[in-house]
Amino acid sequence: MSAPDRGYVGRFAPSPTGPLHAGSVAAALASWLDARAHGGRWLLRIEDIDRPREQPGATASILDTLSRLGLRADGDPVLQSTRGAHYEAALYALRSVGLAYPCGCTRREIADSQQRAGLSAARHGELVYPGTCRDGLPPGREPRAWRLRVPEGVVRVDDRLLGDCSQDVAAEVGDFVLRRADGMWAYQLAVVVDDAAQGVTHVVRGADLAGSTARQVVLAGALGVRSPRWLHVPVVAGADGDKLSKQNGATAVDAARPLPVLDAAMAHLGFEPPSVRGHDAWLAEATLRWAARHGPRATASGR
């Protein structure tokens, strides 16, 4: 294996909306293997800011499954629910330089103005914001959400697996939400603040989040923090062809039998699963296979 990269910090950041299923295990394994292949550290973060979507017991179940799979983290997991003061500080910093502004629009109003402008509906998971409140709240409007003032132009993103994922965030997403109208912190803000706070240098996650990456690069720039490197692995599809989720039949993996679960995840990631039996040997062989394709020597081109 290549010389260890002591500066490498990776992470897995599940939302506790249910137990780990085949898709989330593949993402967890990929990020763990990438960290080990680089001789780096691997951290865990529980993204429990969306309380209504949280499922009781999911955090404990996720941690238990990871430990049975042998995917042990370097250090205790960070819980986003404890990090509100840091998100508040980031929003304050953005406001004080004029990069965040209050928005009084409802979803309905945004959808209507989009329709009037002939814009297509939601792209990248959010309605394209037409900029209604950018230059100040219209008279009589109350602030609801906080948005980032997104600079014009294409944001460059070079994914280690997907290649060019650049995106014109201003045109395709618009000024996106940092704090939601219901007072909850937006995923985009929390993830950027926490990746920076945890010193994350490499993000490896499911390709369903590839469309968020450019937004996270913009936000990191606005906050004056470094963006990590990116690698998005294919998502596992459910019965309906969409990303596997609770809605389309995702079931919890059987953590009592870790090797078949790891074999399936490895195959999904496009690798022949190691035929060695024995947990530690399996993980060691899988790390070598990952390193041959994505390790520091395999990626001398800089990706």
The site for ligand GLU (CB under 6 A) is made up of: 13-15, 47, 191, 205, 209
Smallest distance from the beta carbon of 266 to ligand GLU, in angstroms?
A: 20
Q: End-to-end distance of the chain based on CA atoms, in angstroms?
A: 18
Whichever of 2 and 81 has its CB closer to ligand GLU, that residue is: 81
CB of 13 to ligand GLU, least distance (A): 4
Cα angle value 77/191/152 (rounded, 5°)? 165
> Cβ of residue 245: shortest distance to ligand GLU, in angstroms?
10
CA 113 to chain centre: 29
Sign of the CA dihedral running 167, 171, 92, 96: positive
Closer by beta carbon to ligand GLU, 198 or else 287: 198
Decide whether 120 or 248 has the Cβ nearer to ligand GLU: 248
Specify the residue, 14 or 174, whose C-beta has the smaller distance to ligand GLU: 14
Question: What's the closest the beta carbon of residue 36 comes to ligand GLU, in angstroms?
Answer: 18
Taking every pair of C-alpha atoms in the chain, what is the biggest distance, in angstroms? 68
Q: Tell me the β-bridge partners of 163.
A: 159
Interstrand relation of 202-206 and 229-233 (parallel, antiparallel or unpaired): parallel
Task: Please provide the DSSP assignment of 16-32 as one string.
Answer: SSSS-BHHHHHHHHHHH
The smaller minimum CB distance to ligand GLU, of residues 15 and 227, is found at 15
